[in-house]
Structure 1
Amino acid sequence: MSVLTGRAPRGALLLTLPAIAVLLLVMAVPFGVIVLRSFAEPVPGLANYVWFFQTPVNLTVLARTFTIAFWVTASCVLVAYPYAFAMSIAGPRLRLVLIMCVLVPFWVSGVVRTLAWVILLQDSGVINRILLALGFEKVRLIRTQLGVTIGMTQVLLPFMIMPLYAVMRGIDLRLLQAARSLGAHPVKSFFQIYLPLSLPGVFAGATLVFILSLGFYITPLLLGGPQSTMLSTLIQQQVLSLLSWGRGGAMGVVLLVATFGVLALAGPFMRRRYQISGGSR
C-alpha cells in the first residue's frame, strides 16, 4: 500500500480478482438463488416466511439454536482461555506439543470425532462406566442438549484457542510483574491488566465460534435428539426430504438475518470493550 496516498497499487487489486470471482461463484450466486426461491416457491410472495413465523416449532427450534450456540461459545471461552494462556507462556518444546494437540483434530474427519463422542457419551459408554465404578449413578448425556454442547465444544475449540493465542503472544508479561512489584495481588493484576488486553482475542474467537455453531448439522444430528434439534436439521428435512426449497431457503434466510441481528446488537459493546483494552496498553 502506498505510504503517501494510502491506496493499494492497481496490480494488488488485480491480484484479488480471482479470489473475488471464486467467492461470487461459490457463495454469492448460490445464496442469491436460495433467496429468490424462498420468495418464489411454491407461490410468489412472503408465504414461506409467514409459514415460518406462524409455526411454533420453527420459532422454538430457532431459539434453541441460538441457546446452544451461546452455551457452546461460553464453554469454548472457559476451556480455551487457560489453554491459550499456557501456550503463550510455555517453552518452545511444550508450546509445540500444545499447538499440535490443537491442530491434530483438524486432520480427523468431523464425523469420526462425533462418532467417538457417541461411544463416550452413550448410556453404556466410557463416561458412565467410570461414574459407576466410582459409585455414582448414570448420567444421561446422549440425545441431550448437554451432549450436543460437549461435542460441538470439542470440535470448535481450535477456532477459539488460536485467536486467543495470537493475542496473548503479544501481551508483555512484564506488566504483571510490575503490578505485583507495586503491591498488587496476582488476581487483581490479572483482571485489571491481562484480561483487558486479551479481550480482542476473546471477542474474535467467540464471534467465530458462535457463527460456526449456528450452522452445525452432523454433531447435533448424531449426539442430539428431538429435544435438541437445531435449525440446520429442519432445513435439511425441508430441502432433501420434503423437496421444499422455498421453505428451506426461508429458514436459511431467517437464520442469517437473526445472526446478523445478534452481531449488530453485540457490535457496539465489543467495540467499546476493544477500545478499553486498546487504551490500557
Structure 2
Amino acid sequence: MTRPGFFQPNGRQLSSAGILLLMAPFFMLIGFAFLYPLLSLLSLSVTEPEPGLSNYVRILDNPLYFKVLLRTLWIAVLVSVLALLMAFPVAMAMVSSSGPMAVFITAFVLLPFWSSVLVRTAAWAVLLQRNGIVNDLLQVVGITSEPIRLLYTQGAVVVAMTHVLLPFMVLPIYGALRNIPSDYDRAAAICGAGPLRRFAEVTVPLALPGVLGGVILVFLTALGYFITPALLGSPKEMMIATLISQQLREFLDWPFAAALVGVLTLFVTAITLVFSKVFRFDRMLGGQL
C-alpha cells in the first residue's frame, strides 16, 4: 500500500512530497559533510583574530596572492582548452564506433576512474623526472642533448591535470553527440555540404551543450585542484589550493586560510551562477536540445 500523497493521482509519477522524501538523505549528507564545515570555516575568516574583514583586506593588500589567483585561473583555462581539443575527437570516435572497438575506447576513457588521482600523478612524476622516459625520448630523437627540467614546472601541472580531468570533458560531449540524429548529417550531405562544413555547421553547434558542460566541469574542478599541483608544481608557481594548504599546515593560520577559501568559493559560485543563467544545466550535461 502506498502512502497518500507519495505518488501523483495517476500512480506512475512521484509527487513533490515523495521527491523531497527520497532526496532527504542526500540533503542531510550535503548539509552535514559540506555546508556546515564550509560555513564554520567562512565564519572563522571574519571572527579571528578579531571581528571584521582584516583577513580579506590582507589578500587584497599583498600582490602575491593576486598573482596566485591569476595563475590558478590561467592554468584552469589552459587545462580546459587542452582537454576540449583532446576530448572532442575521442567522443566522436566513441559515437561512430560499435562492437569491440566501442568497448575498447570506452574502457580507456573510464580507465582513469579505476585508479586514484595520487597514483596517476605519481606516474607522471616518474615519466617527467630527469631520468624518465620523456627525457630519454627527447634525447633519442635529438631534440635535446641532455636531460631538461620537466618536473616541478607549470607545464607538468598542466599536462597531468589535463590527463586526470579528460574524462570529465569526454563524457558530456559524448552524451551530446549521441543525441544528434544521424539524419541531420545525411541531410546536410544531400544538400551538398562537405565533411568539414557538416562538422562546423551541424555537429559542433548541436554538440555545444555538451561542450559547455564539459568545460565548466573541468574548469571549476581545476580551480580547486590540490594533489597534482602540490606534487608536480614548483613552490614558486603554486596554485590557490596549494597556498591554502600551506597556510593551514605550515603557518597554522586558519583564519587567513579560511579567507582564501572564501575568495575561491565566491569566485566559483559566481561562475556557476553566470553559466546557470546563460545556459541550462540539463543542456550543458548533454541532454536533449
Give me the TM-score of the superposition, normalised by structure 2.
Answer: 0.89
CA distance in 1, matches of 2:152, 2:9: 57
> 2:181 maps to what in 1?
172
* Residue from 167, 172, 177 that aligns with 1:163: 172
> 1:113 maps to what in 2?
120
Cα offset, 1:115, TM superposition: 0.9
Q: Does 1:186 align with 2:195?
A: yes
* Residue from 202, 213, 219 that aligns with 2:228: 219
* Residue from 94, 100, 103 that aligns with 1:93: 100
Residues 10 and 140 of structure 1: CA distance in aligned 2, closer, same or farther (over 3 Å) = same
Percent identity of paired positions between Structure 1 and Structure 2 = 37
Cα offset, 1:123, TM superposition: 2.6
CA distance in 1, matches of 2:277, 2:31: 29
Residues 270 and 21 of structure 1: CA distance in aligned 2, closer, same or farther (over 3 Å) = closer
Gaps of 5+ in 1: none
Residues 266 and 22 of structure 1: CA distance in aligned 2, closer, same or farther (over 3 Å) = closer
SS at match of 1:184: coil
> 1:28 maps to what in 2?
35
CA distance in 1, matches of 2:240, 2:24: 34
Residues 241 and 226 of structure 1: CA distance in aligned 2, closer, same or farther (over 3 Å) = closer
SS at match of 1:16: helix
Q: Deviations over 1:184-204 (max 9, x none)?
A: 121111111110000010011
Asked if the contact 1:145/1:227 (under 8 Å) is kept, the reply is no
CA distance in 2, matches of 1:123, 1:268: 47
Between stretches 31-40 and 239-248, larger displacement belongs to 239-248
* Residue from 148, 152, 161 that aligns with 1:143: 152
Cα offset, 1:245, TM superposition: 1.1
CA distance in 1, matches of 2:220, 2:9: 35
Asked if the contact 2:94/2:106 (under 8 Å) is kept, the reply is yes
Asked if the contact 1:87/1:98 (under 8 Å) is kept, the reply is yes
Q: Does 1:18 align with 2:25?
A: yes
Q: Deviations over 1:183-232 (max 9, x none)?
A: 11211111111100000100111111111111111101111103431000
Between stretches 118-127 and 32-41, larger displacement belongs to 118-127
Asked if the contact 2:160/2:228 (under 8 Å) is kept, the reply is yes
Q: 4+ residue stretches of structure 1 with deviation over 6 A?
A: none
Task: Please give the root-mean-square deviation of Cα atoms over the aligned residues, in Å.
Answer: 2.3
Cα offset, 1:143, TM superposition: 1.6
Residues 278 and 29 of structure 1: CA distance in aligned 2, closer, same or farther (over 3 Å) = closer
Cα offset, 1:109, TM superposition: 1.6
Asked if the contact 1:53/1:59 (under 8 Å) is kept, the reply is yes
Asked if the contact 1:148/1:228 (under 8 Å) is kept, the reply is no
Between stretches 28-37 and 132-141, larger displacement belongs to 132-141
Aligned length: 276
Between stretches 137-146 and 160-169, larger displacement belongs to 137-146
Q: Deviations over 1:21-44 (max 9, x none)?
A: 111000110011011001011111
SS at match of 2:142: coil
Cα offset, 1:270, TM superposition: 4.5
Between stretches 156-165 and 171-180, larger displacement belongs to 171-180
Cα offset, 1:262, TM superposition: 3.5
Read off the aligned partner of 1:10 and give its amino acid letter. A
Q: Deviations over 1:22-72 (max 9, x none)?
A: 110001100110110010111111010011111111110011001100000
Cα offset, 1:268, TM superposition: 5.6
SS at match of 2:181: coil
Q: Does 1:40 align with 2:84?
A: no
Cα offset, 1:7, TM superposition: 8.4
Read off the aligned partner of 1:218 and give its amino acid letter. I
Asked if the contact 2:175/2:287 (under 8 Å) is kept, the reply is no
Asked if the contact 1:65/1:230 (under 8 Å) is kept, the reply is yes
Residues 278 and 96 of structure 1: CA distance in aligned 2, closer, same or farther (over 3 Å) = closer
